[in-house]
Amino acid sequence: MGPSSRSPSSNRGWSRPMQAAHAVAAPSLLLFVFIGGNATAQEARDWLDRMSRAVEELNYRGTFVHAHDDTFEMETLHIVHRNADGESGERILSLDGAGREFVRQGASVQGIFPDRRVVLFETRSDISPLVSALPSNTAELEPHYEMTLGGAARVADRPVQVLEIKPRDEFRYGYMLWLDKETAMPLQSALIDEKGKVVERILFTDIEISTDIPAAALEPTIDTTGFTTLRAPEPESAPLAAQIPWRAATVPGGFQLSVATHGPIAGSDTPVEHLVYSDGLATVSVFIEDPATKAELRDGFSTVGSTNAYSVTRFGRKVTAMGEVPPQTVRTIASSLVAE
């Protein structure tokens, strides 16, 4: 997962595989203010498309705060992002606590944990909370979200355009985005639950958008001499309709199966089957544990930060669905899981 921190007690009662899975499930961008003004839906979509490109294609460095409002957890992070010849990379350093650092080049990630004196190498592309919750296809969002432009504001001493994304039903959360007027880079964002409450937010306190960032800027800053080196196991990717027979028989409108993998995850000695359902913005991860796994998580709801989870035993397997979505969404998906 990205470097956002969780307190040790916040996921008490979750099994070790599910604690690790929470890191995989991903996490998101996101402050709610009243906005006015009128703009066409097409203008809003254009801003959203520009934002999606900006986060990956621009060269920038800055400091942002990642906060979970319901748990009062907050972390300050420094990011350096570089795009060279179409390949992006970044270095993210936590300025709080033990000072963890993550360096990504393409899909290769190096995580450095000074408190554990461990360096972890793994393959993934979503270490930054600035990327994990961005829309992947704006055309897919329209039936399920209403997108409107608000007024002008200012964030990190830069003029911004406010964009609001409202869900059309009770199965997904809403978003507010403050986009840099010049580049469409998201400088502030908020995830808003079904009650209109902000549950997660990101806010840049300073940012520099550059024409060029040297490759050396992505080199780790922490001396890892004497650290233990670990390599995460590679998940076994499978065609969506092939090796993994599990499917959700009932999903909210717009959610489609996008990922199906089978393999070990941190904290589990047995393989876990992993499905991902997405509507293009919201994402729900479903973990089907091996019958040999001793499930510590009881059936029912649990919450960590902005992530809701629902566990249920289906056909002798512990099934857990989790995501930054309302509780009824994870329950609907987990409760309908069947083996085809």
Per residue in 45-102, pLDDT (tens digit) is: 899 999 989 999 999 999 999 998 766 789 999 999 999 988 999 999 999 999 999 9
For residue range 220-260, what is the model confidence (pLDDT) as tens digits? Answer: 999 999 999 999 877 555 454 457 888 999 999 999 998 88
The pLDDT value given to residue 153: 96
Q: Which of 11-20, 100-109, 176-185 bottoms out in mean pLDDT, i.e. has the lowest?
A: 11-20
Closest CA to 83 of 102, 62, 104: 104
User: What is d(CA 179, CA 195) in angstroms, rounded to the nearest whole number?
Assistant: 24
- In contact, 30 and 129? CB cutoff 8 Å: no
Radius of gyration of the chain (CA): 20
Delineate the domains of the chain, giving CATH numbers in brackets: 27-229 (2.50.20.10), 233-339 (3.30.200.100)
Give the Cα separation of 133 and 323 in Å (integer).
11
What pTM value is reported for the model? 0.81
State the Cα–Cα distance between residues 57 and 272, nearest whole angstrom.
34
Pairing of strands 198-210, 59-68: antiparallel
